[in-house]
Amino acid sequence: MKEFRRNKRALSPVIATVILVSVTIVVAVSVAYWLGTIAATYTSYEQVDLPKTWAEFVSKVSGEAVDLASPTLNHYPISPDSETIHLTGESVGTATDLGDESFPVTNPPVVADSQTIKVDGIAWTEVAVLDPGNGVSEYLFDDATGMITFGIVDGDDDPALGAVITADYDTTDYTIDYASGTITFTTAPKAGVVITADYVPVGLPGWKVHIGLKNSGSADTTIDDVFLNDKPLLYYTAGVNLFVGTDDPANKVTDLSKITVPLSKGSATELILWIQEKDTAGNDVVEGCTHGTMINLKIHSSGGLDYPSQVRLP
């Protein structure tokens, strides 16, 4: 027995030290990670910045693209008879150099003096009577029929063989539902034609207020209310509309009592506030909103925080 005890070996001090240090490191890293997780959980914070708030006065919508597959204007209802529909880049034909050629546009009647007729990209001049020897490239135009007429063969008013004739013009060849903003063309415009519209939505003239938002905090949040001159938007029964991101109809906040704009940490968006200037009788629609006045804005979050800003109405 004594011999057995004398030959019994213990762990090497070096190995024991290595094991002890390794275990200590593992435990320390685990504890640090655990504490870091707890700290992150309890120290996350909300912070919404308003990096840019500005306003513009808008008297009408100009140059809005119209999709022929779904020809509906974005901002409806529309003030009756306020619209102009532009057709740009219509190819009407190719010159044969035979003289006295005529080419019709697709969507007459044409608004008087709205057309630009180009031959190989160069605009020609409309006249009442052609003068083939005056050195000016001219054409005749009939607003009612949309017919373009050029001059005698080899004259100044005769396009060269193979020249491409194009037309830009304002058409009245449509009907429009002012309530929904839907356009119905009597004759479908040619493929490739660019269609744009100018019009005055109900509620304009007025101001378009841009409110940039950025969540620079470490916690997600939600914008649940917007205040104008210390009153929630719901207070205003007319003349105020709110959009998120862009002012397309799909982005309109239809119920101002239920504003919900999620804003995850690190993300950004823009609120667009439309404010009507005057009603049909010429009276101010939204109290405290006139040219040159400073308005107070306040963004309220689901975390109970307020983020104020000011902007002057031009």
Tell me which of 199, 224, 251 is where a domain ends.
199
Residues 76 and 192 in one domain: yes
Mean pLDDT confidence for 228-232: 96
Q: Given a cut of 60, is residue 42 above it in pLDDT?
A: no
Mean pLDDT confidence for 241-250: 89
Q: How far apart are CA 112 and CA 116, in angstroms?
A: 11
Residue with the larger pLDDT of the pair 76 and 207: 207
The model's pTM is 0.69
What pLDDT is recorded for position 212? 96
Mean pLDDT confidence for 16-20: 70
What pLDDT is recorded for position 4? 46
Task: Taking the CA atoms of 180, 184, 188 and 193 in sequence, report the sign of the dihedral they define.
Answer: negative
Q: Which of these ranges, 10-19, 88-97, 199-208, has the smallest mean pLDDT?
A: 10-19
Q: Which residues are within 8 A (CB) of 257 and not within 5 positions of it... i.e. 6 or more apart?
A: 234
Residues 133 and 160 in one domain: yes
Mean pLDDT confidence for 285-311: 95
Residues 11 and 85 in one domain: no
Look up residue 147 and give its two tokens.
């017919």
Mean pLDDT confidence for 222-240: 94
Strand-pairing partners, residue 103, are 148
Residue with the larger pLDDT of the pair 114 and 237: 114
What distance separates the 2 farthest-apart alpha carbons in the chain? 136
Q: Given a cut of 80, is residue 5 above it in pLDDT?
A: no
What pLDDT is recorded for position 41? 53
pLDDT band of 23, cuts 50, 70, 90: confident
pLDDT band of 25, cuts 50, 70, 90: confident
Q: Given a cut of 80, is residue 33 above it in pLDDT?
A: no
Residues 111 and 178 in one domain: yes
pLDDT band of 269, cuts 50, 70, 90: very high
Residues 54 and 69 in one domain: no
Among residues 145, 151, 146, the alpha carbon closest in space to that of 124 is found at 151
Residues 71 and 154 in one domain: yes
Q: Given a cut of 80, is residue 261 above it in pLDDT?
A: yes
When the pLDDT of each residue in the chain is averaged and rounded to a whole number, the result is 89
Tell me which of 139, 171, 199 is where a domain ends.
199
Residues 148 and 85 in one domain: yes
Residues 169 and 68 in one domain: yes
CATH code at 307? 2.60.40.1890
Domain interval for residue 195:
62-199
Q: How many domains are contained in the chain?
A: 3
In contact, 127 and 134? CB cutoff 8 Å:
no
pLDDT tens digit sequence for 177-229: 999 999 999 999 999 999 999 999 988 899 999 999 999 999 999 999 999 99
Residue with the larger pLDDT of the pair 101 and 5: 101
C-beta neighbour count of 280 within 10 angstroms: 7
Residues 191 and 214 in one domain: no
Q: How far apart are CA 143 and CA 276, in angstroms?
A: 37
Residues 257 and 143 in one domain: no
What pLDDT is recorded for position 61? 92
Tell me which of 143, 167, 199 is where a domain ends.
199
Residues 105 and 160 in one domain: yes
Residues 107 and 235 in one domain: no
Provide the phi-psi class of 282: left if phi over 0, else alpha when psi is between -120 and 50, else beta: left
